[in-house]
Amino acid sequence: MTSAVYLGFDLSTQQLKCLAIDETLTIVASATVVFDKDFPAYGTNKGVYVKEGGVVDAPVSMWLDAIDLCFQRLSAKVDMQRVASMSGSCQQHGSIYWNIETLPQLDYTRTLSEQVSPLLARNTAPNWQDHSTAKQCERFAAELGGAAELASHTGSTAHHRFTGPQIAKIHEQEPQIYECTSTISLVSSFLASIMTGTLVQLEEADACGMNLYDIPNRVYNDRLMSLVDSDVRRLSKKLRGLPIKCEEQKSLGLISHYFVKKFNVNPKCQVYPFTGDNLATICSLPLQKNDVLVSLGTSTTILLVTDQYEPSPDYHMFMHPTVPDHYMGMICYCNGALAREKVRDNLPIIGDDDEKEEGGKGQDPEKAWTQFDTALADKNICTDNQIAIYFPLAEIVPSTGAVTKRCTFSLQDPQHVVLETVDNFEDARQDVKNIVESQALSCRVRISPLLTGTVNSPALAHDWMVSFDHNERALSSFARRPHRAFFVGGASSNRNIVETMAHVIGATSGNYTLETPNSCALGGCYRALWSEQTRTGHVNERFDIWLNRNFHWERDCEFVCESDSAKWEKFNGKIAALSALENSL
């Protein structure tokens, strides 16, 4: 076989992975390096060092060793002469501190870490799990007048992991290191730099995870930059000027001599910009404007594609890495699977009346899930006048401590919802419906402002104000439905959960599930293929249109159901109740 292959790397917290696809978007080879397992000498735990004071970081040399090993493993599986191009994804927010402005040519007879580690001003890179920057974050939010103002400029309010507060902390606490630093990379631009053998600029979509980049104006915000370094020009120089714009899908250059000589990589291999892992995930799926990805893992994460820049301190907005004038919205909830499991554990044990009082804990989880599913699908279990939230962990959206609250309300006067708090519903199975419905309804009210197009709904044709996350909106602004919904992650294999959520969220053009073990690396592969075919004149289509046409819908994706409009309509009546409940916390 001599056809070309396209590589997608994923440098995540615990591993470095590389996939190779062919022109038909089929994976032909993969290689993985697991940091703890392959490099025990670094002593990382799940890829990081957890230190005092909330510091979490990772040794950069370990990543360099991983790059060598990953190429070695991949080259044993695929003829590296076939590699036409590459791109990739990396954990977001991390920063790498170089003591150089240009990368010297590397000697392929030596290792990357031997040669590159001495070029670093700092051995470790802060990791996204770091939470040691509370002080800096306060200053970031205060500088622009509060969380909402900061979010409106940078797409997110201040977060401990975001790169601006991280660099500010390093400047304050390690001034010599900051002085010695000539170049700062994000993990994505670091990996792209190693691949090309030149220090490349940041990539714009990933740069939106810094609290420094002004998304509407597409420049660094000088006031925020000055919180990191009063000499803004000096900082800007370290960041190598403005990021590479998303619409500039040009090659960063050819693969470096080091990989050509050492691993026999095709010297004509083009390297395209690398981005953040969540951003690469949306490039691994045929997501277009108003499409939403619901990831049902331990936590619930929503990624959606939109052309509306509607920032909020409660979620994140990034530029879309490959579709001009589009954005990615990212909403992260803490309470997902764990909260559902707790409700499952409270179901009475089947066929054992004596143990009913104690709830289902200790029951075979599979049986308990069957019971959960049966309750979810049972039309006789009514929750129409109930609303509840189940947050065994502190929640991000809405921002609150751990709390579970169940309420009933009268359906008579929807404009003035009066909630009555109850300790328990009559039937524990009502909790099953309520938790899945309220998790979905919460997603729905938060994604609605990011969507376009309205749906005629009598229940929503009102100007009554409801508020979520300190934001007042007319009820009528919730008359928007996503285009398609894609459900991924552990619970997406539970048909009843997906269908229930699908009807609440109400996508107009179908609900799908798919498995995404490789999504970040695959997003890199697709970008590498599309960019290369665009460069060579074989493709003349926008990324999302091209991917929709070429995506293997039957092979890689399963259609679940159409959303039931009557059910969607029914949940319109609960928006004000959910708002009242959240505001009562």
Residues that bind ligand XUL (CB under 6 A): 12-13, 91-93, 128, 161, 209, 276-278
Measured from the CB atom, the residue of 301 and 492 that comes closer to ligand XUL is 301
What's the closest the beta carbon of residue 278 comes to ligand XUL, in angstroms?
A: 5
Q: Between residues 177 and 334, which has the closer beta carbon with respect to ligand XUL?
A: 334
Q: Select 208 or 428, whichever has its Cβ closest to ligand XUL.
A: 208
Cβ distance to ligand XUL smaller for residue 165 or 276: 276
Give least dist CB 14 to ligand XUL, A: 10
Whether 81 and 104 have beta carbons less than 8 Å apart is answered as no
Handedness of CA 99, 100, 101, 106 (dihedral sign): negative
Reference 346, options 435, 442, 443; nearest CA is: 435
Q: Encode burial over 451-473: b for 16+ CB neighbours within 10 A, e otherwise.
A: beeeeebebbeeeeebebbeeeb
Question: In the complex with ligand XUL, which residue's Cβ is closer, 315 or 571?
Answer: 315
d(CA 518, CA 492): 16
Residue 579's alpha-carbon distances to 72, 259, 466, in angstroms, are: 55, 56, 6
> Closest approach of Cβ 177 to ligand XUL, in Å?
23
Kind and range of the H or E element at 547?
helix 543-550
Rounded to a whole number of angstroms, the minimum distance from the CB of residue 58 to ligand XUL is 11
**284 neighbors 277 (Cβ within 8 angstroms):** no
Residue number, 13 or 509, with CB nearest to ligand XUL? 13
Residue 250 is encoded by which pair of tokens? 């040009």
Helix 428-447, helix 337-345: angle, nearest 10: 160
Compare residues 62 and 269 and give the one whose CB is closer to ligand XUL. Answer: 62
CB 342 within 8 A of CB 428: no
Ramachandran class of 355: left when φ > 0, alpha when ψ lies in -120 to 50, beta otherwise? alpha
User: Is 32 or 434 the residue whose CB approaches ligand XUL more closely?
Assistant: 32
Give Cα separations from 425 to 94, 247, 434 (angstroms): 45, 53, 10
Angle between helix 134-143 and helix 147-154 axes, rounded to 10 deg: 80
Task: Check if the beta carbon of residue 142 is closer than 8 Å to that of residue 190.
Answer: no
- The CB-of-580 to ligand XUL minimum distance in angstroms stands at 30
CB of 366 to ligand XUL, least distance (A): 31
Closest distance of CB 76 from ligand XUL, Å = 27
Closest CA to 300 of 585, 129, 499, 498: 498
Query: Is the CB of 16 or the CB of 466 nearer to ligand XUL?
Result: 16
**Minimum distance, C-beta of residue 537 to ligand XUL, in the bound complex (Å):** 34
Q: Which of 258, 77, 96, 66 shows the shortest CA–CA distance to 163?
A: 96
Cα–Cα–Cα angle for 187, 265, 245, nearest 5°? 40
**Amino acid making up residue 326:** H
* Smallest distance from ligand XUL to CB 127, Å: 9
What single-letter DSSP state applies at residue 247?
A: T
Residue (128 or 140) nearer to ligand XUL, CB: 128
The CA distance from 49 to 76, in Å, is: 31
Which of 246, 389 has the CB closer to ligand XUL?
246
Which contiguous run of DSSP H or E holds residue 465?
A: strand 465-468
| CA pair distance 445, 467, nearest whole angstrom | 10
Task: Assess contact for 216 and 275: CB atoms under 8 A.
Answer: no
Instruction: Compare residues 91 and 363 and give the one whose CB is closer to ligand XUL.
Output: 91
